[in-house]
Amino acid sequence: MHKEARESAIKALISKMTLEEKVSQLSYTSPAIERLGIPAYNWWNECLHGVARSGIATVFPQAIALAATFDEGFVREVAKAISDEARAKYNEAIKQGNRGQYWGLTFWTPNINIFRDPRWGRGQETYGEDPYLTSRIGLAFVQGLQGDDPEQLKTAACAKHFAVHSGPENQRHTFDAQVSKKDLFETYLPAFKLLVEAGVEAVMGAYNRTLGEPCCGSTYLLQDILRDEWGFKGHVVSDCWAIRDFHENHRVTAAPEASAAKALNAGCDLNCGCTYPYLTVAYKQGLVSEAAIDTALTRLLRTRFKLGMFDSPDQDPYRGLGREIINGEKHRALALEAACKSIVLLKNDKSLLPLDERFKHILLLGPGAANPHTLLGNYYGLSPRLVTILEGLAGKVQDKYGINLEYRQACLQYEANHPSNLIFGEAHEKDLIIAVFGLDGAMEGEEGDAIASDSNGDREAIELPPWQLAYLRKIRAEGKPLVLVLTGGSPIAVPEDIADAILFVWYPGEQGGAAVADILFGDRSPSGKLPITFPASTAQLPPYDDYALQGRTYRYMQEPPLYPFGFGLSYTSFRLGYAGASLLSAKELKAGDTVQVRVQVSNTGNRDGEAVMQVYVAKDPPGAQDPIASLRKFERRFIHAGETLELCVELPSSAFETINEEGLSVLVPGSYKVIVADAAPLPVAVERGATVPVSETIRVR
End-to-end CA distance of the chain: 50
Residue 532: pLDDT above 60?
A: yes
Residue 685 burial (C-beta neighbours within 10 Å; 0-12, 13-18, 19+): exposed
Rounded Cα gap, residues 82 and 68, in angstroms: 19
Is the pTM here over 0.95, yes or no?
yes
Question: What residue ranges do the domains of the chain occupy?
Answer: 19-325, 336-532, 574-700
Residue 420, helix vs strand vs coil:
helix
CA atoms within 13 A on the CB side of 614: 28
CATH of domain 574-700: 2.60.40.10
Rounded Cα gap, residues 578 and 380, in angstroms: 44
Q: Are 264 and 296 in contact (CB under 8 A)?
A: yes
> Which DSSP category does 665 fall into?
E
Q: Phi first, then psi: give them for residue 221, nearest 5 degrees.
A: -75, -50
278: left (phi over 0), alpha (psi -120 to 50) or beta: alpha
**Which has more confidence, 116 or 358?**
116
Rounded Cα gap, residues 255 and 562, in angstroms: 49
Predicted local confidence at residue 431, as pLDDT: 94
Rounded Cα gap, residues 169 and 250, in angstroms: 15
User: pLDDT class for 406, splitting at 50, 70, 90?
Assistant: very high
User: pLDDT class for 687, splitting at 50, 70, 90?
Assistant: low
The DSSP secondary structure of 137-193, one letter per residue, reads HHHHHHHHHH-S-TTS-SSB-EEEEESS----GGGTTT-EE---HHHIIIIISHHHH
* Catalytically annotated residues: 239, 444
Predicted local confidence at residue 402, as pLDDT: 85
Nearest CA to 86 among 30, 48, 127?
48
Count of CB atoms situated within 10 Å of the CB of 534: 21
Predicted local confidence at residue 686, as pLDDT: 53
Residue 252: pLDDT above 90?
A: yes
Residue 617, helix vs strand vs coil:
strand
How far are the Cα atoms of 190, 443, 455 from residue 659, in angstroms, in the given order?
A: 11, 37, 35
Q: Are 694 and 578 in contact (CB under 8 A)?
A: yes
Q: Would you say domain 19-325 falls under CATH 3.40.605.10? A: no
198: left (phi over 0), alpha (psi -120 to 50) or beta: alpha
Residues forming beta bridges with residue 482, ordered by sequence position? 433
Residue 604: pLDDT above 60?
A: yes
Residues forming beta bridges with residue 670, ordered by sequence position? 700
Angle ∠(96,97,102) on CA atoms, nearest 5: 95
393-398 long-range contacts (CB < 8 A, ≥24 apart) are 393/364, 393/369, 393/434, 393/513, 393/516, 393/517, 393/520, 395/513, 395/514, 395/517, 396/514, 396/517, 396/518, 396/520, 396/521, 397/362
H/E/C letters for each residue in 281-335? HHHHCCCCCHHHHHHHHHHHHHHHHHCCCCCCHHHCCCCCCCHHHCCCHHHHHHH
- Go through the chain and tell me how many residues it has: 701
Predicted local confidence at residue 419, as pLDDT: 78
Work out whether the CA dihedral 280, 282, 283, 288 comes out positive or negative: negative
Rounded Cα gap, residues 27 and 49, in angstroms: 26
β pairing state of 574-578 and 594-603: antiparallel
Nearest CA to 538 among 482, 484, 494, 472?
494
Q: Are 276 and 26 in contact (CB under 8 A)?
A: yes
Residue 422: pLDDT above 80?
A: no
Reported as a single tens digit per residue, the pLDDT across 428-484 is 789 999 999 999 999 999 999 999 999 999 999 999 999 999 999 999 999 999 999
Q: Would you say domain 336-532 falls under CATH 3.40.50.1700? A: yes
Reported as a single tens digit per residue, the pLDDT across 28-62 is 999 999 999 999 999 999 999 999 999 999 999 99
Reported as a single tens digit per residue, the pLDDT across 88-108 is 999 999 999 999 999 999 999
Average per-residue pLDDT for the chain: 96
Q: Phi first, then psi: give them for residue 97, nearest 5 degrees.
A: 75, 20
Work out whether the CA dihedral 165, 168, 173, 176 comes out positive or negative: negative
> Which DSSP category does 239 fall into?
P
What number is the average pLDDT over the span 162-169?
97
Q: Are 389 and 516 in contact (CB under 8 A)?
A: yes
What number is the average pLDDT over the span 313-328?
95
Q: Phi first, then psi: give them for residue 543, nearest 5 degrees.
A: -55, 140
β pairing state of 176-177 and 209-210: parallel
Predicted local confidence at residue 427, as pLDDT: 74
β pairing state of 158-162 and 202-205: parallel
Rounded Cα gap, residues 237 and 118, in angstroms: 27
Residue 605 burial (C-beta neighbours within 10 Å; 0-12, 13-18, 19+): middle
Reported as a single tens digit per residue, the pLDDT across 657-667 is 999 999 999 99
What number is the average pLDDT over the span 139-155?
97
